[in-house]
Amino acid sequence: MNTHKRLKERIAHHTTRLGIQGLNKLNLPNSLLIIPDGNGRWAKQSGLTIEEGHKMGGLTMGKILEAFMNLNIKVVGVWGFSEDNWKRPQEEIDNIMTVVKATIDQNLERLKKNGVRFMVIGKKDKIKKNYPKLYKTIEKAQKETSRLRDKTLVLFLDYGERFQLEEFALARNKDGFSTTYELLTKINNGLPMFDMILRTSGEKRTSGFGPLGSLAEFVSVEKNLPELGKSDIILALKEYSQRQRRFGGR
Protein backbone atom coordinates (compact mmCIF):
# COMPACT_ATOMS: atom_id res chain seq x y z
CA MET A 1 0.00 0.00 0.00
CA ASN A 2 2.80 2.41 0.90
CA THR A 3 4.65 1.53 -2.31
CA HIS A 4 1.49 2.19 -4.34
CA LYS A 5 0.97 5.54 -2.56
CA ARG A 6 4.55 6.60 -3.21
CA LEU A 7 4.21 5.66 -6.88
CA LYS A 8 1.05 7.76 -7.20
CA GLU A 9 2.79 10.70 -5.57
CA ARG A 10 5.76 10.41 -7.95
CA ILE A 11 3.45 10.27 -10.98
CA ALA A 12 1.49 13.29 -9.72
CA HIS A 13 4.71 15.22 -9.11
CA HIS A 14 6.01 14.36 -12.60
CA THR A 15 2.71 15.37 -14.23
CA THR A 16 2.64 18.68 -12.35
CA ARG A 17 6.24 19.42 -13.27
CA LEU A 18 5.50 18.78 -16.95
CA GLY A 19 2.49 21.06 -16.63
CA ILE A 20 4.57 23.85 -15.11
CA GLN A 21 7.22 23.52 -17.80
CA GLY A 22 4.50 23.70 -20.45
CA LEU A 23 3.12 26.89 -18.92
CA ASN A 24 6.28 28.76 -19.81
CA LYS A 25 5.27 28.49 -23.47
CA LEU A 26 2.07 30.41 -22.73
CA ASN A 27 1.38 34.11 -22.19
CA LEU A 28 2.08 34.32 -18.48
CA PRO A 29 1.74 37.43 -16.31
CA ASN A 30 4.93 39.32 -15.60
CA SER A 31 3.61 40.04 -12.12
CA LEU A 32 1.15 38.00 -10.08
CA LEU A 33 -0.56 38.87 -6.81
CA ILE A 34 -1.95 36.13 -4.59
CA ILE A 35 -4.69 36.94 -2.09
CA PRO A 36 -4.61 33.87 0.18
CA ASP A 37 -7.98 33.16 1.75
CA GLY A 38 -9.85 30.36 3.47
CA ASN A 39 -7.56 29.16 6.27
CA GLY A 40 -10.32 29.57 8.86
CA ARG A 41 -13.00 27.98 6.69
CA TRP A 42 -10.77 25.02 5.89
CA ALA A 43 -9.99 24.53 9.57
CA LYS A 44 -13.67 24.64 10.54
CA GLN A 45 -14.62 22.16 7.81
CA SER A 46 -11.78 19.88 8.94
CA GLY A 47 -12.66 20.07 12.63
CA LEU A 48 -9.41 21.91 13.42
CA THR A 49 -8.52 25.17 15.13
CA ILE A 50 -7.97 28.42 13.22
CA GLU A 51 -4.36 28.26 14.39
CA GLU A 52 -3.94 24.93 12.59
CA GLY A 53 -5.59 26.43 9.52
CA HIS A 54 -3.07 29.28 9.39
CA LYS A 55 -0.18 26.86 9.88
CA MET A 56 -1.35 24.75 6.97
CA GLY A 57 -1.83 27.90 4.88
CA GLY A 58 1.78 28.85 5.54
CA LEU A 59 3.00 25.42 4.44
CA THR A 60 0.89 25.67 1.29
CA MET A 61 2.44 29.03 0.43
CA GLY A 62 5.87 27.39 0.66
CA LYS A 63 4.79 24.75 -1.87
CA ILE A 64 3.33 27.38 -4.19
CA LEU A 65 6.56 29.36 -3.97
CA GLU A 66 8.47 26.27 -5.10
CA ALA A 67 6.29 26.08 -8.21
CA PHE A 68 6.93 29.70 -9.11
CA MET A 69 10.68 29.15 -9.05
CA ASN A 70 10.20 27.25 -12.32
CA LEU A 71 7.86 29.73 -13.99
CA ASN A 72 8.59 32.72 -16.23
CA ILE A 73 6.96 35.11 -13.79
CA LYS A 74 9.14 37.96 -12.63
CA VAL A 75 7.21 39.25 -9.60
CA VAL A 76 5.03 37.36 -7.14
CA GLY A 77 3.16 39.25 -4.43
CA VAL A 78 1.35 37.82 -1.42
CA TRP A 79 -1.13 39.93 0.57
CA GLY A 80 -0.31 38.44 3.93
CA PHE A 81 -2.08 40.84 6.30
CA SER A 82 -4.35 43.75 5.44
CA GLU A 83 -4.75 46.98 7.38
CA ASP A 84 -8.26 45.76 8.28
CA ASN A 85 -7.06 42.43 9.68
CA TRP A 86 -6.19 44.18 12.96
CA LYS A 87 -9.93 43.89 13.74
CA ARG A 88 -9.53 40.14 14.29
CA PRO A 89 -9.13 38.59 17.75
CA GLN A 90 -5.68 39.28 19.23
CA GLU A 91 -4.92 35.56 19.58
CA GLU A 92 -5.51 35.02 15.87
CA ILE A 93 -3.39 38.03 14.92
CA ASP A 94 -0.55 36.70 17.08
CA ASN A 95 -0.86 33.34 15.36
CA ILE A 96 -0.81 34.87 11.87
CA MET A 97 2.37 36.80 12.68
CA THR A 98 3.97 33.62 14.04
CA VAL A 99 3.12 31.80 10.80
CA VAL A 100 4.46 34.68 8.69
CA LYS A 101 7.76 34.58 10.57
CA ALA A 102 8.03 30.79 10.28
CA THR A 103 7.25 30.88 6.55
CA ILE A 104 9.98 33.46 5.91
CA ASP A 105 12.49 31.48 8.01
CA GLN A 106 11.66 28.21 6.25
CA ASN A 107 12.00 29.66 2.74
CA LEU A 108 14.84 32.19 3.02
CA GLU A 109 17.59 29.84 1.85
CA ARG A 110 15.44 28.71 -1.06
CA LEU A 111 14.92 32.34 -2.09
CA LYS A 112 18.66 33.04 -1.96
CA LYS A 113 19.48 29.89 -3.90
CA ASN A 114 17.07 30.85 -6.69
CA GLY A 115 18.06 34.52 -6.93
CA VAL A 116 14.82 35.88 -5.49
CA ARG A 117 14.76 39.30 -3.88
CA PHE A 118 12.41 39.49 -0.88
CA MET A 119 10.57 42.68 0.02
CA VAL A 120 7.89 43.70 2.51
CA ILE A 121 5.61 46.65 1.77
CA GLY A 122 3.16 48.16 4.24
CA LYS A 123 3.10 50.01 7.55
CA LYS A 124 6.03 49.03 9.74
CA ASP A 125 5.30 50.73 13.07
CA LYS A 126 2.93 48.17 14.60
CA ILE A 127 4.96 45.22 13.39
CA LYS A 128 8.18 46.69 14.80
CA LYS A 129 6.59 47.53 18.15
CA ASN A 130 4.36 44.49 18.75
CA TYR A 131 6.26 41.75 16.87
CA PRO A 132 9.98 42.59 17.13
CA LYS A 133 11.11 39.03 16.30
CA LEU A 134 9.12 39.09 13.06
CA TYR A 135 10.47 42.55 12.27
CA LYS A 136 14.06 41.34 12.72
CA THR A 137 13.34 38.33 10.49
CA ILE A 138 11.95 40.63 7.79
CA GLU A 139 14.94 42.97 7.98
CA LYS A 140 17.36 40.04 7.81
CA ALA A 141 15.62 38.48 4.80
CA GLN A 142 15.45 41.78 2.92
CA LYS A 143 19.11 42.54 3.58
CA GLU A 144 20.36 39.10 2.56
CA THR A 145 18.41 39.13 -0.72
CA SER A 146 18.70 42.83 -1.61
CA ARG A 147 21.20 42.26 -4.44
CA LEU A 148 19.28 39.41 -6.06
CA ARG A 149 17.42 40.25 -9.26
CA ASP A 150 16.22 37.04 -10.98
CA LYS A 151 12.78 37.31 -9.38
CA THR A 152 11.03 39.33 -6.69
CA LEU A 153 8.80 38.04 -3.92
CA VAL A 154 6.93 40.81 -2.13
CA LEU A 155 4.92 40.35 1.05
CA PHE A 156 2.25 42.96 1.72
CA LEU A 157 1.93 43.32 5.48
CA ASP A 158 -0.39 45.79 7.24
CA TYR A 159 -1.21 46.97 3.75
CA GLY A 160 -4.26 48.26 1.95
CA GLU A 161 -5.72 51.01 -0.19
CA ARG A 162 -5.77 53.63 2.59
CA PHE A 163 -2.06 53.10 3.19
CA GLN A 164 -1.31 53.43 -0.52
CA LEU A 165 -3.38 56.61 -0.90
CA GLU A 166 -1.59 58.18 2.06
CA GLU A 167 1.81 57.24 0.65
CA PHE A 168 0.84 58.56 -2.77
CA ALA A 169 -0.38 61.88 -1.35
CA LEU A 170 2.90 62.36 0.52
CA ALA A 171 4.90 61.49 -2.61
CA ARG A 172 2.83 63.83 -4.82
CA ASN A 173 3.32 66.67 -2.35
CA LYS A 174 7.07 66.31 -2.82
CA ASP A 175 6.98 65.58 -6.56
CA GLY A 176 4.57 67.46 -8.79
CA PHE A 177 6.13 66.39 -12.08
CA SER A 178 6.22 62.57 -12.18
CA THR A 179 3.31 60.67 -13.70
CA THR A 180 0.91 58.71 -11.50
CA TYR A 181 2.46 55.44 -12.63
CA GLU A 182 5.97 56.68 -11.91
CA LEU A 183 4.98 57.72 -8.39
CA LEU A 184 3.24 54.39 -7.76
CA THR A 185 6.38 52.57 -8.81
CA LYS A 186 8.53 54.83 -6.64
CA ILE A 187 6.55 54.38 -3.41
CA ASN A 188 6.41 50.62 -4.00
CA ASN A 189 10.16 50.06 -4.36
CA GLY A 190 10.06 49.70 -8.14
CA LEU A 191 7.19 47.21 -8.35
CA PRO A 192 5.11 47.20 -11.54
CA MET A 193 1.32 47.14 -11.46
CA PHE A 194 0.09 43.57 -11.21
CA ASP A 195 -1.02 41.75 -14.36
CA MET A 196 -3.00 39.07 -12.53
CA ILE A 197 -4.67 38.57 -9.16
CA LEU A 198 -5.33 35.05 -7.92
CA ARG A 199 -7.62 34.67 -4.92
CA THR A 200 -8.45 31.42 -3.18
CA SER A 201 -11.65 30.18 -1.45
CA GLY A 202 -13.89 31.21 -4.34
CA GLU A 203 -14.05 34.90 -3.35
CA LYS A 204 -14.31 37.33 -6.25
CA ARG A 205 -13.19 40.64 -4.77
CA THR A 206 -9.92 42.47 -4.24
CA SER A 207 -10.94 43.68 -0.75
CA GLY A 208 -9.42 47.13 -1.20
CA PHE A 209 -5.93 46.00 -2.12
CA GLY A 210 -5.25 49.29 -3.84
CA PRO A 211 -3.91 50.87 -7.05
CA LEU A 212 -1.24 48.25 -7.81
CA GLY A 213 -4.01 45.76 -8.61
CA SER A 214 -6.35 48.10 -10.47
CA LEU A 215 -5.52 46.83 -13.99
CA ALA A 216 -5.05 43.17 -13.14
CA GLU A 217 -6.97 40.21 -14.54
CA PHE A 218 -8.82 38.54 -11.64
CA VAL A 219 -8.90 34.73 -11.35
CA SER A 220 -10.78 33.07 -8.52
CA VAL A 221 -9.95 29.53 -7.34
CA GLU A 222 -12.71 27.69 -5.47
CA LYS A 223 -10.40 25.86 -3.08
CA ASN A 224 -9.36 27.24 0.29
CA LEU A 225 -5.66 28.07 0.61
CA PRO A 226 -4.65 24.93 2.58
CA GLU A 227 -6.17 22.78 -0.18
CA LEU A 228 -4.41 24.57 -3.04
CA GLY A 229 -2.01 22.50 -5.13
CA LYS A 230 0.29 23.14 -8.06
CA SER A 231 -2.36 21.79 -10.43
CA ASP A 232 -4.70 24.60 -9.31
CA ILE A 233 -1.99 27.15 -10.09
CA ILE A 234 -1.53 25.59 -13.52
CA LEU A 235 -5.25 25.88 -14.31
CA ALA A 236 -5.43 29.48 -13.06
CA LEU A 237 -2.46 30.55 -15.17
CA LYS A 238 -3.87 28.79 -18.22
CA GLU A 239 -7.09 30.75 -17.73
CA TYR A 240 -5.13 34.00 -17.60
CA SER A 241 -3.15 33.11 -20.73
CA GLN A 242 -6.39 32.77 -22.72
CA ARG A 243 -7.64 36.25 -21.91
CA GLN A 244 -7.20 39.22 -24.21
CA ARG A 245 -6.08 42.35 -22.39
CA ARG A 246 -7.06 45.43 -24.41
CA PHE A 247 -6.71 48.19 -21.77
CA GLY A 248 -9.55 50.13 -23.38
CA GLY A 249 -8.52 49.40 -26.98
CA ARG A 250 -9.82 46.85 -29.47
Measured CA to CA, the distance from residue 106 to residue 202 in angstroms comes to: 28
CA 240 from centroid of its chain's CA atoms: 17
Q: Determine whether 175 is an active site residue.
A: no
Does 85 qualify as catalytic in the annotation? yes
**Angle, CA 213 vertex, CA 239 and CA 217 arms, to 5°:** 20
Answer positive or negative: Cα dihedral of 74, 57, 159, 241: positive
Contact 103, 58 (CB under 8 A): yes
Query: 3-class DSSP state for residue 73?
Result: coil
Please state, as a whole number, how many other Cβ atoms lie within 10 Å of the Cβ of residue 31: 20
The Cβ of residue 97 has, within 10 Å, a number of other Cβ atoms equal to 20
Angstrom distance (rounded) from CA 103 to CA 114: 16
Give the H/E segment covering residue 35. strand 31-35
Choosing from 37, 158, 188, 195, the catalytic residue is: 37
* Catalytic entry in 24, 27, 85, 224: 85
Catalytic residues: 37, 85
